[in-house]
Amino acid sequence: MHKLHTFNSGLTLAYVFNPAVRSVAIGVFVGAGVVREGAENAGISHFIEHMVFKGTSTRSSFDIVNEIDSLGAQINAYTAKSYTCFHTVSLDVHAAKCAEVLSDLYFDPTFDPEELKKERQVVIEEINESEDTPDDLCIERLLSAYFKGHPLEKPILGSKKTLGAMTSEQLHAYRRQFYTPSNTVVAIAGNLSEAEAVALTETYFESKFGGADNVELAPILPAAANSLSVTQKKDIEQTHLAFAFPYYPYDHPMTVAAQLMTLIFGMGMSSRLFQSVREKLGLCYTVEGYPSAYEGNGAFVIYLATSPSNAVKAARAVRREIDLLLETGVTDDELAKAKQQLKTSLVLGQESTASMMRTFGTYAMMTGKLYDLSGRIEEIDGAGSEEVMAAARYVFDMSRVCASTVSSAPDSKILEIFKGR
């Protein structure tokens, strides 16, 4: 049983019932991510994600994790480009306590100035770690170039400069602006009846908003087309290459066709990209193609790591595979295999309450609608090779491709080479 319940305040509950398990996953999704940040407060959504765990009016940072650990449960959070999620997984008998702790984090973080100073340094170390990780650095710079001039260009972590200027007052103001009922989804999946799920949400969330105002949020506009190349010199052994292409917005009618194309072309060990660039040519250990979809926007990324002497050869090999896909299309066997892969991943995900919480919570957050698993499987079964190839032609637009290189000797002409100029 899957249901969407909207409360009087505008708060949404996405409910997924699974009596075959003894666990319950609860997620609180807030529409606060880099798409809602300005240049002056970049990273504030992620910083708040950290800071709510540093204490509330009634719980210290230790109390928060100790109470959850004492139940044998798990608590965590993450920030995406479009939203922030706080979540728990526990035995069904501890669902109410987990909901109460999540409610405390959501409604009553203190953002203590002394704790803020310490946690700021923690996030700065997270930034340092990301900058020391070549693949992270390569992809981050790629997406910043691809979405240049758009809110999506900003990194989720923010920058050392913006973090250094943030105050407790700014965090409180941002939380008041975006942590509102109509901008929040509670997702509950597992062995909990609908009545119990509604009651938990009413008790720990709906009743605590107290007539909070819902602010009308501006729509996220599409990004302008860019075709840029960025390089970063770094003293490392490999050259890290990444290319970004257009992709459909979240839950676009062509999503299924694009997902099937992704599986055939670039995702998994039997994909064309893996079989050609790694298995046949031996040019790299890691090579993959994958999409990221947002409101009104999307990007398809191809990433690989190779030796500096093979960078140009690898880039040309990727381009050849793209050309081959566009020229010859996909086979019936490839399409049938991709359909089985996609359906299996969806069906197996039902066996995890955490996975269902994320799937239904994210979908409700991004679309305001209930995720239809059966409908999605029907879409997969009905997709044809013509749709898959229409998606491929949309994605692999060489007039809108961006490139990123991180290497000890980055080639500034890699984008021109990739385009065949």
Distance CA 242, CA 141 (A): 9
Q: Measuring CA to CA, how many Å separate 262 from each of 25, 253, 334?
A: 29, 16, 11
Q: In terms of Cα–Cα distance, which of 218, 222, 288, 217 is closest to 249?
A: 222
Of the residues 37, 49, 321, 334, which is catalytic? 49
- Give burial (CB, 10 Å; 0-12/13-18/19+) of 68: buried
DSSP 408: S
Residues contacting 345, CB < 8 A, separation 6+:
none
Residues contacting 40, CB < 8 A, separation 6+:
162, 165
Distance of CA 130 to the CA centre of its chain: 16
Count of Cβ atoms closer than 10 Å to residue 327 Cβ? 7
Question: Is the CB of residue 357 less than 8 Å from the CB of residue 16?
Answer: yes
Answer yes or no: 334 catalytic.
Answer: no
Q: Measuring CA to CA, how many Å separate 241 from each of 188, 300, 324, 332, 388?
A: 40, 14, 20, 31, 26
Distance CA 256, CA 375 (A): 11
- Give burial (CB, 10 Å; 0-12/13-18/19+) of 370: middle
Backbone angles phi, psi at 19, to 5 degrees: -75, -5
Q: Which two tokens stand for residue 27?
A: 């997620």
Distance CA 246, CA 208 (A): 42
Does the CA dihedral 344-346-347-351 come out positive or negative?
Answer: positive
Enumerate the active-site residues: 49
